[in-house]
């Protein structure tokens, strides 16, 4: 017996990246999640569930096993499709499951930038000092020349 999803709901998320709102709609075998600010929604979700490639792989494979899919979108387009409707070699490389398919670069860019900022934040002071030292070196050489 195939599961038929029909309905919709709205949600709000408060996380370290701020607050955002979104919608979840069911249409047949596809559940669509749209967030006004995908970065804030992602940050909020990371604080409440098991994360990482293994967790995503397990969710994707379970959805596919039930014939279901989740499509995640933001203001810039589709971020990902997870489950039965996804088939991606890149998804397999990143998560171990072909049932995870990433969206376009334009839609994913805000998430990538936010992740880069989080990764660089602990090293920000050292990077600024290194940049200032390099600039001082270049200016000093030009003044001497």
Residue span of the structural domain in which 63 resides: 5-144
Reading the chain (145 residues) residue by residue, the pLDDT tens digits are 566 778 788 888 887 767 888 888 888 888 888 888 887 877 776 666 566 777 888 888 988 998 889 888 888 888 888 899 999 898 888 888 999 888 777 766 776 677 677 676 677 677 677 777 787 777 777 777 6
At residue 145, the pLDDT reads: 64
String of DSSP letters for 79-114:
EEEEETT---HHHHHHHS-TTEEE--HHHHHHHHHH
pLDDT digits (tens, 9 = 90+) for 11-47: 888 877 678 888 888 888 888 888 888 878 777 766 6
Question: What is the tally of structural domains in the chain?
Answer: 1
* Per-residue model confidence (pLDDT) at position 7: 79
23 - beta bridge partners?
10, 34
| pLDDT of amino acid 105 | 79
Q: How far is 31 from 69, CA to CA, in rounded Å?
A: 6
**The total number of residues written for the chain in this structure:** 145
The predicted pLDDT at position 11 comes to 84
Q: What is the pLDDT of residue 99?
A: 93
Give the SS3 label for residue 38: helix
**Cα–Cα distance for residue pair 41/79, rounded to 1 Å:** 12
């Amino acid at each position: 017996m195939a599961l038929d999803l029909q309905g919709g709901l709205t949600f709000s998320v408060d996380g370290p990246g701020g607050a955002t709102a979104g919608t979840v709609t069911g249409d047949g075998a596809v559940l669509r999640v749209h967030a006004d600010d995908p970065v804030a929604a992602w940050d909020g979700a990371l604080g409440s569930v098991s994360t990482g490639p293994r967790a995503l792989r397990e969710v994707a494979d379970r959805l596919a096993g039930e014939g279901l899919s989740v499509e995640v979108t933001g203001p810039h387009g589709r971020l990902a499709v997870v489950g039965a409707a996804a088939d991606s070699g890149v998804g397999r490389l990143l998560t171990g499951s072909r049932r995870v398919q990433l969206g376009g670069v334009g839609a994913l860019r805000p998430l990538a930038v936010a992740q880069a900022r989080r990764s660089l934040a602990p090293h920000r002071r050292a990077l600024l000092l290194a940049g200032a030292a390099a600039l001082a070196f270049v200016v000093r050489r030009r003044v001497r020349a």
